[in-house]
């Protein structure tokens, strides 16, 4: 019987915590080596070697210089056994995207200092809609908007909001505070009884999670209504 070659060890033979995909999920992308990240892109290797070993061989051929690898054409990548057109284009696209990231400027996050700032931030998304939608502005400790999230979309008269979905999104973005917002297609700037009841329900739930609801806006093309400005929070 021939000796079992290390190159023939499949990814399944690796301990779960050493498999690139699992390692990324449990320890984060920064914990992975270049070869492990490349192995995730490849997904699989060839009959003779697994994806991680193939990735190490590719990187070794360019002395682990990603800039050099990024200049390679699809045809050059396909010289390696186990790299077909699909994998080669995926590698080329990922490296090009990484290169563009290095030269891109960070998008400036808007800072919310008042209800007007919040309205100007959310109005383009909902103010002129013919149906009602419920959105969140998620803020960090400096009141910078880290994300805008649509929670639900309904009809002319209203939309259903599930508090579990609201706070799942808040926690996913590690937001310190949140501004609720929805539109009134009718153009009225007064909250309904349902609007007031929902706001109270979400404020109570937020307190148990140590999350602050700063405001709830009703947005229309004519302007906005702020629960905070009106003392309803």
**Residues 87-109 pLDDT 10s:** 999 999 999 999 888 877 777 88
Does a structural domain hold residue 199?
Answer: yes
pLDDT at site 173:
94
pLDDT at site 13:
58
Identify the domain containing residue 160 by its residue range: 115-226
Tell me which residue of 204, 206, 203, 232 sits closest to 218, measured CA to CA.
232
pLDDT at site 69:
94
**pTM of the model as a whole:** 0.63
Does a structural domain hold residue 1?
Answer: no
Q: Are residues 94 and 128 in the same domain?
A: no
Does a structural domain hold residue 42?
Answer: yes
Q: Are residues 210 and 185 in the same domain?
A: yes
**What is the domain-level CATH number for residue 197?**
3.40.140.10
Q: How confident is the model at residue 156 (pLDDT cuts 50, 70, 90)?
A: confident
Q: How confident is the model at residue 3 (pLDDT cuts 50, 70, 90)?
A: very low
**Which tens digit of pLDDT belongs to each residue from 67-93?**
999 999 999 999 999 899 999 999 999
Does a structural domain hold residue 54?
Answer: yes
Does a structural domain hold residue 109?
Answer: no
pLDDT at site 157:
80
Cβ neighbourhood burial of 19 (10 Å; 0-12, 13-18, 19+): buried
Q: Are residues 119 and 98 in the same domain?
A: no
pLDDT at site 5:
45
pLDDT at site 14:
61
When divided into structural domains, the chain yields a total of 2
Does a structural domain hold residue 138?
Answer: yes
Q: Is the pLDDT of residue 49 over 80?
A: yes
pLDDT at site 17:
60
Q: Are residues 134 and 222 in the same domain?
A: yes
pLDDT at site 8:
53
For 208: left if phi > 0, alpha if psi spans -120 to 50, otherwise beta; the answer is alpha
Largest CA distance in the chain: 82
Give the DSSP H or E segment for 95: helix 85-103
Q: Are residues 197 and 164 in the same domain?
A: yes
Is-contact 178 136, C-beta < 8 A? Answer: yes
Please provide the distance, in angstroms rounded to a whole number, between the alpha carbons at the two ends of the chain.
76
- For residues 214 and 203, what is the distance between their CA atoms, to the nearest angstrom? 9
């Amino acid at each position: 019987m021939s000796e079992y070659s290390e190159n023939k060890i499949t990814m399944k033979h690796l301990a779960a915590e050493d498999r690139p995909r699992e390692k990324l999920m449990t320890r984060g992308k920064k914990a992975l080596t270049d070869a492990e990240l490349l192995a995730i892109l490849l997904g699989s290797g060839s009959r003779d070697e697994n994806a991680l070993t193939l990735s190490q061989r590719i990187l070794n051929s360019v002395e682990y210089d990603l800039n050099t690898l990024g200049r390679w054409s699809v045809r050059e990548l396909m010289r390696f056994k186990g790299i077909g057109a699909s994998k080669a284009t995926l590698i080329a696209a990922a490296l090009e995207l990484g290169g563009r990231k290095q030269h891109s400027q960070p998008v400036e996050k808007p800072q919310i200092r008042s209800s007007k700032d919040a309205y100007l931030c959310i109005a383009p998304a909902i103010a002129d809609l013919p149906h009602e939608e419920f959105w969140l502005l998620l803020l960090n400790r400096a009141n910078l908007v880290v994300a805008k999230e649509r929670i639900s979309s309904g009809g002319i008269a209203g939309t259903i909001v599930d508090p579990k979905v609201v706070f799942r999104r808040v926690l996913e973005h590690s937001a310190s505070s949140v501004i609720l917002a929805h539109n009134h297609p009718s153009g009225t700037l007064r909250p309904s009884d349902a609007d007031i009841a929902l706001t109270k329900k979400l404020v109570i739930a937020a307190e148990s999670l140590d999350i602050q609801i700063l405001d709830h806006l009703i947005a229309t093309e004519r302007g906005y209504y702020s629960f905070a400005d009106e003392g309803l929070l």
